[in-house]
Structure 1
Protein backbone atom coordinates (compact mmCIF):
# COMPACT_ATOMS: atom_id res chain seq x y z
CA UNK A 1 0.00 0.00 0.00
CA UNK A 2 1.45 3.32 -1.04
CA UNK A 3 1.43 5.99 1.64
CA UNK A 4 1.87 8.76 -0.94
CA UNK A 5 -1.14 8.98 -3.26
CA UNK A 6 -0.48 9.42 -6.97
CA UNK A 7 -4.06 10.61 -7.50
CA UNK A 8 -6.46 12.22 -5.06
CA UNK A 9 -9.95 13.72 -5.42
CA UNK A 10 -11.37 16.94 -4.03
CA UNK A 11 -14.66 16.85 -2.13
CA UNK A 12 -16.41 18.23 -5.23
CA UNK A 13 -14.99 15.37 -7.33
CA UNK A 14 -16.14 12.80 -4.77
CA UNK A 15 -19.66 14.27 -4.83
CA UNK A 16 -19.85 14.13 -8.63
CA UNK A 17 -18.42 10.60 -8.68
CA UNK A 18 -21.13 9.48 -6.25
CA UNK A 19 -23.83 11.15 -8.35
CA UNK A 20 -22.55 9.45 -11.51
CA UNK A 21 -22.25 6.09 -9.72
CA UNK A 22 -25.90 6.24 -8.65
CA UNK A 23 -26.89 6.81 -12.28
CA UNK A 24 -24.39 4.59 -14.14
CA UNK A 25 -23.09 2.00 -11.67
CA UNK A 26 -19.39 1.23 -11.20
CA UNK A 27 -17.05 3.79 -12.76
CA UNK A 28 -13.49 4.10 -14.00
CA UNK A 29 -11.26 6.99 -15.05
CA UNK A 30 -8.61 7.38 -17.71
CA UNK A 31 -6.21 10.30 -18.14
CA UNK A 32 -4.71 10.20 -21.61
CA UNK A 33 -3.54 13.63 -22.69
CA UNK A 34 -4.55 12.71 -26.23
CA UNK A 35 -5.64 15.11 -28.94
CA UNK A 36 -9.34 14.28 -28.90
CA UNK A 37 -10.01 14.45 -25.18
CA UNK A 38 -7.32 16.94 -24.24
CA UNK A 39 -5.83 16.39 -20.82
CA UNK A 40 -9.12 16.06 -18.96
CA UNK A 41 -9.72 12.88 -17.00
CA UNK A 42 -12.43 10.86 -18.70
CA UNK A 43 -15.05 9.01 -16.64
CA UNK A 44 -16.60 5.84 -18.07
CA UNK A 45 -18.80 3.02 -16.85
CA UNK A 46 -16.35 0.44 -15.53
CA UNK A 47 -15.24 -1.88 -18.32
CA UNK A 48 -16.40 0.38 -21.16
CA UNK A 49 -12.91 1.71 -21.79
CA UNK A 50 -10.32 -0.88 -22.73
CA UNK A 51 -7.18 -0.31 -20.70
CA UNK A 52 -4.08 -0.73 -22.85
CA UNK A 53 -0.81 -2.50 -22.13
CA UNK A 54 0.93 0.83 -21.52
CA UNK A 55 -1.75 2.30 -19.28
CA UNK A 56 -0.90 2.49 -15.61
CA UNK A 57 -3.23 2.25 -12.62
CA UNK A 58 -2.48 5.24 -10.39
CA UNK A 59 -4.96 4.40 -7.67
CA UNK A 60 -8.63 4.91 -6.94
CA UNK A 61 -10.77 7.97 -6.43
CA UNK A 62 -14.15 7.51 -4.81
CA UNK A 63 -13.79 3.74 -5.29
CA UNK A 64 -13.22 4.08 -9.05
CA UNK A 65 -9.91 2.95 -10.58
CA UNK A 66 -7.91 5.77 -12.16
CA UNK A 67 -5.60 4.95 -15.08
CA UNK A 68 -3.16 7.11 -17.01
CA UNK A 69 -1.52 6.47 -20.36
CA UNK A 70 2.14 5.44 -20.20
CA UNK A 71 3.47 8.49 -22.08
CA UNK A 72 1.38 10.83 -19.92
CA UNK A 73 2.65 9.09 -16.78
CA UNK A 74 6.26 9.63 -17.90
CA UNK A 75 5.53 13.33 -18.25
CA UNK A 76 3.63 13.69 -14.95
CA UNK A 77 5.34 11.07 -12.76
CA UNK A 78 6.80 13.69 -10.41
CA UNK A 79 3.39 15.18 -9.67
CA UNK A 80 0.38 14.20 -7.64
CA UNK A 81 -2.80 14.45 -9.71
CA UNK A 82 -5.63 16.23 -7.93
CA UNK A 83 -8.98 15.57 -9.57
CA UNK A 84 -11.37 18.48 -9.16
CA UNK A 85 -14.68 19.64 -10.66
CA UNK A 86 -15.36 22.94 -12.39
CA UNK A 87 -18.38 24.33 -14.26
CA UNK A 88 -18.47 23.45 -17.94
CA UNK A 89 -18.88 20.56 -20.31
CA UNK A 90 -16.73 17.48 -19.93
CA UNK A 91 -15.18 15.43 -22.68
CA UNK A 92 -17.61 14.26 -25.31
CA UNK A 93 -17.40 10.63 -24.13
CA UNK A 94 -17.06 11.32 -20.41
CA UNK A 95 -20.11 10.57 -18.26
CA UNK A 96 -20.22 13.98 -16.58
CA UNK A 97 -20.71 15.74 -19.93
CA UNK A 98 -24.44 16.46 -19.56
CA UNK A 99 -24.21 17.55 -15.90
CA UNK A 100 -22.91 21.07 -16.51
CA UNK A 101 -19.76 20.17 -14.58
CA UNK A 102 -16.52 18.61 -15.70
CA UNK A 103 -13.61 16.86 -14.08
CA UNK A 104 -10.34 18.77 -14.17
CA UNK A 105 -6.85 17.58 -13.34
CA UNK A 106 -4.72 19.84 -11.22
CA UNK A 107 -1.27 18.80 -10.10
CA UNK A 108 1.43 19.57 -7.62
CA UNK A 109 5.06 18.47 -7.48
CA UNK A 110 5.90 15.94 -4.82
CA UNK A 111 8.19 17.16 -2.09
CA UNK A 112 11.67 15.61 -2.06
CA UNK A 113 10.62 13.54 0.95
CA UNK A 114 7.41 12.31 -0.71
CA UNK A 115 9.28 11.48 -3.94
CA UNK A 116 11.90 9.45 -2.06
CA UNK A 117 9.19 7.51 -0.19
CA UNK A 118 7.13 6.92 -3.33
CA UNK A 119 10.18 5.80 -5.32
CA UNK A 120 11.24 3.36 -2.59
CA UNK A 121 7.74 1.89 -2.31
CA UNK A 122 7.43 1.42 -6.07
CA UNK A 123 10.92 -0.12 -6.34
CA UNK A 124 9.95 -2.67 -3.67
CA UNK A 125 6.94 -3.93 -5.62
CA UNK A 126 7.32 -7.27 -7.40
Structure 2
Protein backbone atom coordinates (compact mmCIF):
# COMPACT_ATOMS: atom_id res chain seq x y z
CA UNK A 1 0.00 0.00 0.00
CA UNK A 2 1.40 3.45 -0.89
CA UNK A 3 2.26 5.88 1.91
CA UNK A 4 -0.50 8.38 2.65
CA UNK A 5 -0.21 11.66 0.80
CA UNK A 6 -1.17 15.09 2.06
CA UNK A 7 -4.75 15.82 3.00
CA UNK A 8 -6.96 17.07 0.19
CA UNK A 9 -8.95 19.07 2.74
CA UNK A 10 -8.02 20.84 5.94
CA UNK A 11 -10.02 23.24 8.11
CA UNK A 12 -9.32 26.29 10.19
CA UNK A 13 -10.02 26.24 13.91
CA UNK A 14 -12.89 28.71 13.34
CA UNK A 15 -14.48 26.45 10.71
CA UNK A 16 -14.21 23.46 13.05
CA UNK A 17 -15.81 25.46 15.88
CA UNK A 18 -18.73 26.40 13.64
CA UNK A 19 -19.12 22.79 12.46
CA UNK A 20 -19.24 21.61 16.09
CA UNK A 21 -21.95 24.19 16.92
CA UNK A 22 -23.97 23.14 13.87
CA UNK A 23 -23.61 19.47 14.79
CA UNK A 24 -25.19 20.14 18.21
CA UNK A 25 -28.26 21.62 16.49
CA UNK A 26 -28.50 19.48 13.34
CA UNK A 27 -26.72 16.20 14.13
CA UNK A 28 -24.05 14.65 11.87
CA UNK A 29 -22.93 16.90 9.01
CA UNK A 30 -21.58 16.80 5.47
CA UNK A 31 -20.23 19.48 3.14
CA UNK A 32 -20.37 19.68 -0.64
CA UNK A 33 -18.24 21.89 -2.84
CA UNK A 34 -20.07 22.37 -6.12
CA UNK A 35 -18.89 23.99 -9.30
CA UNK A 36 -21.77 26.43 -9.23
CA UNK A 37 -21.89 30.08 -8.25
CA UNK A 38 -19.15 32.08 -6.53
CA UNK A 39 -16.51 30.22 -8.55
CA UNK A 40 -17.36 27.22 -6.41
CA UNK A 41 -15.79 28.90 -3.37
CA UNK A 42 -18.82 28.52 -1.10
CA UNK A 43 -19.11 24.97 0.23
CA UNK A 44 -22.57 24.02 1.38
CA UNK A 45 -23.14 22.38 4.77
CA UNK A 46 -26.03 19.93 5.21
CA UNK A 47 -27.21 17.35 7.71
CA UNK A 48 -25.43 14.11 6.76
CA UNK A 49 -27.34 12.31 4.01
CA UNK A 50 -29.58 15.25 3.08
CA UNK A 51 -27.62 16.02 -0.08
CA UNK A 52 -27.48 13.24 -2.64
CA UNK A 53 -23.87 12.46 -3.54
CA UNK A 54 -23.41 11.58 -7.19
CA UNK A 55 -21.43 8.57 -8.40
CA UNK A 56 -18.75 10.89 -9.79
CA UNK A 57 -18.52 13.26 -6.81
CA UNK A 58 -15.14 12.98 -5.08
CA UNK A 59 -14.55 12.62 -1.35
CA UNK A 60 -11.90 15.15 -0.34
CA UNK A 61 -11.76 13.92 3.23
CA UNK A 62 -13.45 13.20 6.50
CA UNK A 63 -13.12 15.98 9.08
CA UNK A 64 -12.83 14.66 12.65
CA UNK A 65 -14.79 17.22 14.67
CA UNK A 66 -13.06 16.09 17.88
CA UNK A 67 -9.75 17.61 16.76
CA UNK A 68 -8.26 21.03 17.45
CA UNK A 69 -5.29 22.82 15.89
CA UNK A 70 -2.37 20.46 15.26
CA UNK A 71 -3.95 17.42 16.95
CA UNK A 72 -3.93 13.95 15.45
CA UNK A 73 -6.69 11.38 15.96
CA UNK A 74 -5.65 8.41 18.06
CA UNK A 75 -8.86 6.48 17.50
CA UNK A 76 -11.38 6.43 14.67
CA UNK A 77 -14.11 8.97 15.42
CA UNK A 78 -17.73 7.91 15.88
CA UNK A 79 -19.84 8.73 12.83
CA UNK A 80 -21.52 11.70 14.55
CA UNK A 81 -18.09 13.33 14.93
CA UNK A 82 -17.25 13.10 11.21
CA UNK A 83 -18.11 15.67 8.55
CA UNK A 84 -17.51 14.29 5.06
CA UNK A 85 -16.30 16.88 2.54
CA UNK A 86 -17.31 16.18 -1.07
CA UNK A 87 -16.66 18.01 -4.32
CA UNK A 88 -18.40 17.63 -7.67
CA UNK A 89 -16.45 15.62 -10.24
CA UNK A 90 -16.01 18.51 -12.72
CA UNK A 91 -14.95 20.87 -9.91
CA UNK A 92 -12.45 18.27 -8.69
CA UNK A 93 -10.99 18.04 -12.21
CA UNK A 94 -10.30 21.78 -12.05
CA UNK A 95 -9.03 21.75 -8.44
CA UNK A 96 -7.24 18.38 -8.17
CA UNK A 97 -3.87 20.13 -7.86
CA UNK A 98 -5.16 22.18 -4.89
CA UNK A 99 -5.59 21.47 -1.20
CA UNK A 100 -8.92 22.89 -0.05
CA UNK A 101 -8.79 24.79 3.25
CA UNK A 102 -12.25 25.16 4.76
CA UNK A 103 -12.52 28.54 6.45
CA UNK A 104 -15.29 30.71 7.83
CA UNK A 105 -15.82 34.44 7.34
CA UNK A 106 -18.43 36.92 8.61
CA UNK A 107 -21.46 37.21 6.37
CA UNK A 108 -24.59 35.38 5.42
CA UNK A 109 -24.19 31.99 3.82
CA UNK A 110 -26.51 30.52 1.25
CA UNK A 111 -30.07 29.92 2.36
CA UNK A 112 -29.53 26.20 1.77
CA UNK A 113 -26.40 25.90 3.92
CA UNK A 114 -26.82 25.29 7.65
CA UNK A 115 -24.59 28.19 8.73
CA UNK A 116 -26.82 30.81 7.01
CA UNK A 117 -28.48 32.04 10.25
CA UNK A 118 -25.22 32.04 12.24
CA UNK A 119 -23.81 35.30 10.81
CA UNK A 120 -20.92 33.43 9.16
CA UNK A 121 -20.39 31.54 5.94
CA UNK A 122 -18.02 28.81 4.95
CA UNK A 123 -15.39 29.69 2.37
CA UNK A 124 -12.97 27.45 0.49
CA UNK A 125 -9.43 28.66 0.22
CA UNK A 126 -6.79 26.81 -1.73
CA UNK A 127 -3.14 25.92 -1.59
CA UNK A 128 -1.45 24.47 -4.66
CA UNK A 129 0.21 21.15 -3.92
CA UNK A 130 3.99 20.86 -4.32
CA UNK A 131 5.14 18.44 -7.06
CA UNK A 132 6.13 15.75 -4.51
CA UNK A 133 2.69 16.03 -2.87
CA UNK A 134 1.00 15.61 -6.25
CA UNK A 135 3.12 12.52 -6.93
CA UNK A 136 1.98 11.02 -3.60
CA UNK A 137 -1.65 11.87 -4.34
CA UNK A 138 -1.45 10.34 -7.81
CA UNK A 139 -0.73 6.93 -6.23
CA UNK A 140 -3.68 7.18 -3.81
CA UNK A 141 -7.10 5.77 -4.61
CA UNK A 142 -9.61 8.45 -5.53
CA UNK A 143 -12.84 7.86 -3.61
CA UNK A 144 -15.98 8.73 -5.55
CA UNK A 145 -19.60 8.52 -4.51
CA UNK A 146 -19.74 5.15 -6.27
CA UNK A 147 -16.69 3.65 -4.53
CA UNK A 148 -17.70 5.14 -1.15
CA UNK A 149 -21.02 3.31 -1.44
CA UNK A 150 -19.02 0.10 -1.91
CA UNK A 151 -17.06 0.74 1.30
CA UNK A 152 -13.93 2.64 0.16
CA UNK A 153 -12.54 5.01 2.79
CA UNK A 154 -9.54 7.37 2.76
CA UNK A 155 -6.18 6.35 4.16
CA UNK A 156 -5.42 8.51 7.21
CA UNK A 157 -2.81 11.20 6.63
CA UNK A 158 -0.21 12.17 9.23
CA UNK A 159 -0.63 15.83 8.23
CA UNK A 160 -2.58 17.83 10.84
CA UNK A 161 -6.19 18.34 9.82
CA UNK A 162 -6.86 21.62 11.66
CA UNK A 163 -4.83 24.81 11.23
CA UNK A 164 -5.18 27.87 13.44
CA UNK A 165 -5.93 30.16 10.48
CA UNK A 166 -6.06 29.82 6.71
CA UNK A 167 -2.79 31.72 6.39
CA UNK A 168 -1.16 28.76 8.18
CA UNK A 169 -2.07 26.53 5.23
CA UNK A 170 -2.12 28.96 2.32
CA UNK A 171 -1.32 32.62 1.72
CA UNK A 172 -4.29 34.88 2.36
CA UNK A 173 -4.16 38.20 0.46
CA UNK A 174 -4.29 41.35 2.51
CA UNK A 175 -2.68 40.02 5.70
When normalised by structure 1's length, the TM-score is 0.91
Q: CA RMSD in A?
A: 2.0
> Helix, strand or coil for the counterpart of 1:121?
coil
Q: Secondary structure at the match of 1:8?
A: strand
CA positional deviation for 1:122 = 3.2
Q: Mark the structure with the bigger radius of gyration.
A: 2
The answer to whether the 8 A contact 2:41-2:125 is kept is no
Contact 1:37 1:92 in 2 (8 A): no
Superimposed CA distance per residue, residues 59-107 of structure 1 (whole angstroms, 9 cap, x where no aligned partner)? 1123200100000000000000000000001111000000000100000
How many residues are paired up?
A: 124
Give, in whole Å, the separation in 1 of the partners of 2:105 and 2:36. 20
Whether 1:98 aligns to 2:100 is no
CA distance in 2, matches of 1:115, 1:16: 30
> How far apart, in 1, do the equivalents of 2:45 and 2:116 lie?
9
Structure 2 distance, partners of 1:94, 1:115, is: 31
Structure 1 counterpart SS, 2:111: coil
**Could you tell me which residue of structure 2 aligns to residue 51 of structure 1?**
53
Structure 1: give runs of 5+ residues left out of the alignment.
none
Q: CA deviation at 1:37?
A: 9.2
Match of 2:138 among 104, 119, 122: 119
Structure-2 separation of matches of 1:27 and 1:117: 29
* Aligned twin of 2:4: 2
Q: Is the 8 A contact 2:11 2:102 kept in 1?
A: yes
**If each structure's strand is expressed as a fraction of its own residues, which one has the higher value?**
1
- Larger RCO (CA under 8 A, 6+ residues apart): 2
- TM-score under structure 2 normalisation? 0.66
- The residue number in structure 1 matching 2:97 is 78
User: What secondary structure is seen at the aligned counterpart in 2 of 1:80?
Assistant: strand
Query: How far is 1:119 from its partner?
Result: 1.1
CA distance in 1, matches of 2:4, 2:108: 33
Gaps of 5+ in 2: 66-81, 143-151, 153-175
